A and B are shown apart, each in its own frame.
Chain A
Amino acid sequence: MTPRRKKRLAVVGLIVLSVSAAATVAFTALQENMLFFISPSDVHAQTLPGDRNFRLGGLVTEGSVSRDNQSLMVSFAVNDGAHEVPVTFQGILPDLFREGQGVIAHGHIGEDGVFHAREVLARHDETYMPNEVADALEKAGTPHTVDMPTTR
């Protein structure tokens, strides 16, 4: 390599290095703001003002879903293994919404301690398998449990 090319290579390396350093610093500072949702444990660890909107993410507690016969009102609980938050929502739920699956609700905590969701999104857990495999796991006593990232 000629000295000129060596110098150019060094400049190229410097560009990549400095951009990476800048990005690392920026994203470390923004860590909290980059989170799409927080977990029920976060909600328990801090008292959030009632008018503040945020996204709550966790698993729908088994056996917690109850629907109102007269309206689109649904209530259920969201947990992350450690804590649980009751949620109410009026509207149409996504296809993947079911007990034991991940869910992200956007709304606020009312004075009654219930999370009033304006929007409910289902979260897929990156596992793909045919029915037969899922049934076999169930039969073997080790059904697939959904994984949900937590922030705490």
Chain B
Amino acid sequence: MIWHNIKVGFHRLGSPPVFHRLCRVVAPWLWAGAAICAAFGLYKALYLVPPDYQQSDSFRILYVHVPAAWQAMAGYLVMSVLAVIALVWRIRTTEIMAMMGAPIGAAFTLICLATGSIWGRPMWGTWWAWDARLTSMLVLLFVYLGIMGLYAAFEDKRKGARVACILILVGLVNIPIIHFSVEWWTTLHQGSTISFFGESSMDSSMMPPLIWMVIATKLMFGAALLDRSRNELIEQDRRKGWVRQKLGASA
């Protein structure tokens, strides 16, 4: 009985008006949570955490760089799951969500590349190097841009979404490559600092702001995804009854 209810609830999310209402209710809470976590995390990162023994204050940029990099990859995984659901079940709201994630993921990738470059200039001595980690991250940016371009190239939005969903699945292979690039090959980029199963090579006094920023970026992604999906849905359905009813005479 419970399983049945969950299933019905899930299918109801495929209904545009229900989805629209859910996004409108949930997104502001996610934005608020993201703002609080980011404010907390940035304050700790910039004022409370002690400077690094080698890099002094320069290391603080990692509190933006690392969460952005993780979100760029996590966002892609979310889009991949949505793409599978969209391709198999052909649920329109899922197709829209998979497509709307791309610009957000691209933005996080860009933040990751930019902050890494700014840090790399003084620390490494170069803005950019064609090592496996940096290159695979740049490829992720191009994959995101490719998804956006492919979706935009189709007159029929549903067709465009389906084709772009296939591209999402093709690009999925890049995610493990990004993660393991620092282990499989020699790179200029350092190995992973944070380990979920072993010991992390970052002192525990430096960890809390990172955790806050990671939560903040997750919430930010979710909030932006819901807002963008809702807008796209209204845009596509602007001539339909439920939108006119919702927006009243202004539509």
- The interface bits of chain B over 131-150 (1 if a CB of A lies within 8 angstroms of the residue's CB, else 0) are 11000000000000000000
- The interface bits of chain B over 154-166 (1 if a CB of A lies within 8 angstroms of the residue's CB, else 0) are 0000000000001
How many of A's residues come within 8 Å of B, CB to CB? 46
Question: Contacts A19-B173, A34-B184, A133-B203 given: A126-B126 contact, CB under 8 Å?
Answer: no
Pair A129/B186 contact, Cβ less than 8 Å:
no
Q: Does A120 contact B (CB under 8 A)?
A: yes
B191 (CB) vs chain A CBs: closest residue: A126
Pair A19/B172 contact, Cβ less than 8 Å:
yes
Contacts of B202 in A (CB 8 A): 127-129
How many of B's residues come within 8 Å of A, CB to CB? 42
Would you list which residues of chain B between 150 and 186 have a CB under 8 Å from chain A? 166, 169-170, 172-173, 177, 184-186
Expressed in whole angstroms, the minimum distance between the Cβ of B83 and any Cβ of chain A is 8
Would you list which residues of chain A between 52 and 108 have a CB under 8 Å from chain B? 57, 92-97, 101, 104
B89 (CB) vs chain A CBs: closest residue: A5
Pair B124/A121 contact, Cβ less than 8 Å:
yes
Task: Provide the bound-state CA to CA distance between A38 and B186, in Å.
Answer: 8
- The interface bits of chain A over 30-50 (1 if a CB of B lies within 8 angstroms of the residue's CB, else 0) are 010011111100000000000
Question: Contacts A94-B125, A132-B50 given: A19-B169 contact, CB under 8 Å?
Answer: yes
Contacts of A124 in B (CB 8 A): 54-55, 123-124, 190
Pair A126/B193 contact, Cβ less than 8 Å:
yes
Pair A57/B129 contact, Cβ less than 8 Å:
no
Task: Provide the bound-state CA to CA distance between A57 and B189, in Å.
Answer: 12
Pair A15/B50 contact, Cβ less than 8 Å:
no
Question: Contacts A131-B51, A133-B203 given: A15-B190 contact, CB under 8 Å?
Answer: no
Q: Does A140 contact B (CB under 8 A)?
A: no
Q: Does A114 contact B (CB under 8 A)?
A: no
Pair B87/A8 contact, Cβ less than 8 Å:
yes
Q: Does A130 contact B (CB under 8 A)?
A: yes
Would you list which residues of chain B between 1 and 54 have a CB under 8 Å from chain A? 50-54
Q: Does B231 contact A (CB under 8 A)?
A: no
Q: Does B206 contact A (CB under 8 A)?
A: yes
Expressed in whole angstroms, the minimum distance between the Cβ of A68 and any Cβ of chain B is 19
Q: Which of B53, B87, B166 contacts A131 (CB 8 A)?
A: B53
Most buried by B among A37, A97, A123, A134: A123
Question: Contacts A95-B122, A96-B123, A133-B53 given: A128-B193 contact, CB under 8 Å?
Answer: yes
Most buried by A among B89, B123, B185: B185
Expressed in whole angstroms, the minimum distance between the Cβ of B135 and any Cβ of chain A is 9
Which residues on B are within 8 Å of A, measured CB to CB? Answer: 50-55, 58-59, 62, 84, 87-89, 122-126, 129-132, 166, 169-170, 172-173, 177, 184-188, 190-193, 201-203, 205-206
Which residues on A are within 8 Å of B, measured CB to CB? Answer: 5, 8-9, 11-12, 15-16, 19-20, 23, 27, 31, 34-39, 57, 92-97, 101, 104, 119-134, 147, 149, 151
